[in-house]
Structure 1
Amino acid sequence: MSRFAESKQQGFTLVELVAVIVLLGFVGTASVQFIRQGIEVYVDSARRDNLQQQARFAVERVTRELKNALPGSVRILSDANNQCVEFMPVIAATTYIDSIANTTVGTLNVIDFNYSYISGDRLAIYTFDNASVYGGTPNITELTAAANGAVANTQLLSFDNITINNESPTRRAYIVAGAVSFCASDGELRRHSGYTPNGNPPTPADGIPISDALRVEDTGAAITVFDFSFDSLQRAGTVLLDFRFHDSSATDEWLKMDQTVFVRNVP
């Protein structure tokens, strides 16, 4: 007899191995499902957060600029593919001193507003409506210089001769540089500047993208993205924004944001 005791061999049976494999399969499947659901929740949350950020940014950008529009300059433009709100942002504003009603002038004494002349700037006086901004004889003229006035705390503005038929009720004078517009097409919101206004929407490709999720129709129905109420001497008007955002990767989710913008400046 061997001096070494015989050892009894032990192991797993085939049934035990199959049972373990089946259990591991269940655990693995459950783990994958749990991880997949977590990833889907994260992806949905990130997509919704991105859509909300786009919406907030678009509304805030349009609202801030529209509030500073030149009186009479806001107008709605549209064609088959675009809806636009166009206006002239105010660079600076002051009050002129002497009456200029029914006169042709080339200089204007104003209260000092620390304005430094820049080529391309323009002077606007009593721009009550679109005709006085974009018409054949607008109340806007090219500035040529700005200097200290003869009296303390005044400035003298020089410009191309302009005939003013009506006095601004508060003798307001505005400095502007050019037109700006926000244009909505299906899937895009763009900001346009540096173009010559002609009553038509600017070329879409020339604008700076603000959002790539704005829609101009909902289930086949057209959306009025911009709606403007006309000016008065008491307030320069209101613009209603109806912004609807939709991510193409989620067919059943929309984000709607309505905003009424009060244009602060008055003629």
Structure 2
Amino acid sequence: MQQREHGFTLIELIVVIVILATLSIITLPLLQSGFNAYVTQRDISDANWQGRLALARFTRDVNALPATTNISTATNGQLTFVDDASNSVSYTLSGMQLLRNGLVLANGINTLTFSYYTAAGAATATISAIQYISITLNVTQNNVNTTITTVAALRNAP
């Protein structure tokens, strides 16, 4: 009687390799789509974070603005004013960077738009009539584009 040796036959090994290859081919697209979803969500989160951080700082500055007489420049793309401590504060866009007094506040900013409103909610270009200031940022991070807007009220506006 012939004893069987322990181990696998060549046929058994080939069958296992074919099964594993088939499973790999099926699961690879699932893993890849999961990874792509993670990367996209991370980019969306980065874009939102950049915009929200900038808008929070802007809102804090505008809320502390003593009066509209402290505003020296109020255009579509720039806002300059003097704060409580008599410091000049300027928000501008340079390239794809939102600057506050020349320092980078946020990166990846495509567009910066300021809008000015009266107490009744009507758009105004008259500095003395400004009650609310709206800022809209179009932020891009790694091909993910998002638009963020906030409105801030002046503390002591008329």
Specify the TM-score bucket, using the shorter chain as the normaliser: 0.7 to 0.9
Give the corresponding residue for 1:211.
106
> What is the aligned partner in structure 2 of residue 188 from structure 1?
97
| Mapped contact 2:115–2:135 kept (Cα < 8 A) | yes
In the TM superposition, residue 26 of structure 1 has moved relative to its aligned partner by 1.4
- 8 Å Cα contact 1:66-1:87 kept in structure 2: no
Q: How many angstroms apart in 1 are the aligned matches of 2:66 and 2:44?
A: 36
TM-score by length of 1: 0.48
Aligned to 1:90: 84
**How do 1:155-234 residues align onto structure 2 when only pairs under 5 Å count?**
176=86, 178-192=87-101, 207-216=102-111, 225-228=113-116, 229=124, 230-232=126-128
Specify the alignment match of 1:240 in structure 2: 134
For normalisation by structure 2, the TM-score amounts to 0.76
* CA–CA separation in structure 2 for the residues paired with 1:65 and 1:254: 26
Query: Is 2:26 the partner of 1:33?
Result: no
Q: Is contact 1:73-1:87 (8 Å) kept?
A: yes
Look up the SS of the partner of 2:70 in the other structure: coil
Q: How does 1:50-199 map to 2 (within 5 A)?
A: 50-71=46-67, 72-74=69-71, 75-76=73-74, 83-91=77-85, 176=86, 178-192=87-101
- CA RMSD after TM alignment: 2.6
Alpha-carbon shift at residue 31 of structure 1 (Å): 3.6
Quick one: percent identity of the two aligned structures? 18
Residue ranges of structure 2 left out of the alignment (5+ in a row): 117-123
Structure 1: runs of 5+ lacking an equivalent: 92-175, 193-206, 217-223
8 A Cα contact 2:47 2:145, kept in partner:
no
What is the CA distance between 1:227 and its match in structure 2?
2.7
Q: SS of 1:41's equivalent? A: helix
Counterparts of 2:88 and 2:110, CA distance in 1: 24
Partner of 2:119: none
Per the TM alignment, residue 181 of structure 1 is displaced from its structure 2 partner at its CA by: 0.6
Structure 1 residue corresponding to 2:151, chosen from 257, 260, 267: 260
Shift of 1:8: 4.4
**Rg bigger for which structure?**
1
Q: Shift of the alpha carbon at 1:28?
A: 2.3
Structure 2 Cα separation of the partners of residues 46 and 26 of structure 1:
31
CA distance in 1, matches of 2:24, 2:63: 58
